[in-house]
Copies of this chain bind each other. A is one copy, B any other.
Amino acid sequence: MFESANLDHRVDKAAYLREMPKLREALLNAQFDLNQHGRFPVLILIAGVEGAGKGEAVNLLNEWMDPRHIYTHAFFEPSDEERERPALWRFWRALPPKGKIGIFFGAWHTMPIIQRVQGLISEGEFGHAIHEVVRLEKMLTDEGVLLLKYWFHLSKSQQKKRLKSLEKDPATRWRVTEREWEYFKVYKKFIRVCEPFLRRTSTGEAPWIVVPGADARYRALTAGKHLLAAMRERLDEKPVKQLPDRNPPLLSSANSTNVLRALQLDQPITKPEYQKQLQKWQGRLNLASRDPNFRNISVACVFEGNDAAGKGGAVRRVTSALDARSYFNVPVAAPTEEERAQPYLWRFWRHIPRRGRFVFFDRSWYGRVLVERVEGFCKEADWMRAYTEINDFEGALLRHGVVVMKFWLAIGKDEQFKRFKAREKTSFKRFKITEEDWRNRKKWDAYETAVCDMVDRTSTANAPWTLVEANNKYHARLKVLKTLTQAVEDALDRVAKEAKKAKKK
């Protein structure tokens, strides 16, 4: 990866002064066009060898372009806000929206590389980190992000020279501390880790661009020209009407059996029995939520279901058992302008709770493979890749110890009809029934197929779908409450055991 960068590249001052103003102007123009049309975000990752001019590059980009439309993020030690959420969360929330430029000074590559150099993770774990990066970056580029990854490079002798010259100059002496010389000592080891990392995370859509860093003028001009070319190429691209379909269809059943129809939707229960059980499980959930170990857990609950299946009512029976400070509800409606300017999952990422909290999603990221699929709001390629993206997303939550619960509330077609009619008659429930509900109902079968595919493709050992028979509201509420409570209790047991084990050591 570093053959070219190890050479001695220079640009003399005269050439620089001749070319730089033209480059700046062109970059400003490109940024203006990007901002005007806002079709995609640009995300620039800055990485590389100590002393190769990473910081200078960040400053220069902000100087050359309009800094109001550049969001620069440096990632140091994670904050408590960040530590209490999955490792990628800090990057998710810092993504630039469409039309803007984001600069990440260090990003998801930083920790795996440092940890591997220091021997804190094994070659196997390093490999997994690499694959996670590839999957994340694939999702971003699939979502239209122009992802530019710059690696500023110095050879070992160039690094030595650079550090010496910084040390000599009184104005920059402070920049060379023991730490820098420590880095210099492990140069070879560092490169042995970085080289395969760069190679294995380079793809056609997100290749690493290695910039020779020894000469300030050279690296400014090369990186700047590359950024310009990359932006220009995407900006000037003619919109393509139709993409080839590279996704085989999913399975259609040869008969009428499916996971929804296999449910016995009517599960009668008397009111007194319901009230007794409700009290019992609400009490247990409340107790669990006040367990000292709950501070180490967070819970993300997804509620999906047929229209009028009683999602809201079920959520209320859960939340009424909880301290209002320990949970929040996220009713998912059409995405806001801010959300539309981001990758699909972004509007859910932002609601990932800190430790010790519940979050309840009334509809969720599964909209991608339900309503968006059925109504054609997104392309087949988009909802097909969404299964993988959702599993990756939930996998990140699970690895971080989040309890992920997913409920599908199922009612029959007749039951829905009865409820729609009843809603139309009851004045205070009329707001709950719209033309859209009747329209959706006509697509009952298409939704049914989408739900079955969703369950098959996203029900996992650690985050299974719970299918809730909901013709009887009492039964549905109790099943939700009980399933959730038991899952939280299991998680608390796990945390307690782990704490005990850690103590023994």
Contacts and interface: CB of A to CB of B under 8 A. Distances in A.
B230 A251 contact: no
A254 B460 contact: no
A141 interface: yes
Interface residues of A, number: 81
A245 B253 contact: no
Given A127-B128, A387-B207, A230 B255 contact: no
B248 A146 contact: yes
Contact of A249 (B196, B226, B240, B259): B226
Nearest to A221: B254
A202 B247 CA distance: 11
Most interface-central of A15, A128, A205, A251 (chain B CB within 10 A):
A251
Contacts of A221: 254
A203 interface: yes
A226 B2 CA distance: 48
Nearest to A395: B200
Interface string A121-161: 01011011001000000000100001110000000000000
B262 A195 contact: no
Contacts of A387: 202, 204, 207
A248 B222 contact: no
Interface string A1-37: 1111101111100010001000000000000000000
A332 interface: no
Contacts of A3: 259, 452, 455-456, 459, 465
B459 A10 contact: no
A258 interface: yes
Given A192-B461, A455-B3, A456-B1, A254 B204 contact: no
A391 interface: yes
Contacts of A457: 1, 199, 202, 207
Interface of A: 1-5, 7-11, 15, 19, 122, 124-125, 127-128, 131, 141, 146-148, 192, 195-196, 199-200, 202-207, 209-211, 218, 221-222, 225-226, 229-230, 233-234, 237-240, 242-255, 257-259, 262, 381, 384-385, 387-388, 391, 452, 455-457, 459-461, 465
A226 B195 CA distance: 44
Nearest to A253: B222
Contact of A4 (B2, B243, B381, B456): B456
A229 B251 CA distance: 9
Given A11-B255, A205-B384, 14 more contacts: A3-B452, A3-B459, A7-B259, A9-B253, A19-B254, A200-B391, A204-B384, A206-B248, A207-B250, A226-B249, A229-B252, A233-B245, A237-B245, A240-B242
A381 B204 contact: yes
B246 A243 contact: no
Contacts of A202: 387-388, 457
Contacts of A381: 204
Please list the 9 inter-chain residue pairs (A to B) with the smallest Cβ-Cβ separation, ordered nearest first.
Answer: A204-B384, A124-B124, A204-B385, A221-B254, A230-B248, A222-B254, A131-B131, A240-B244, A229-B249
A250 B209 contact: yes
B245 A234 contact: yes
Contacts of A5: 456
A230 B249 contact: yes
A291 to B, nearest CB: 29
A245 B40 CA distance: 13
A242 B246 CA distance: 15
Nearest to A219: B254
Contacts of A147: 248
B226 A252 contact: yes
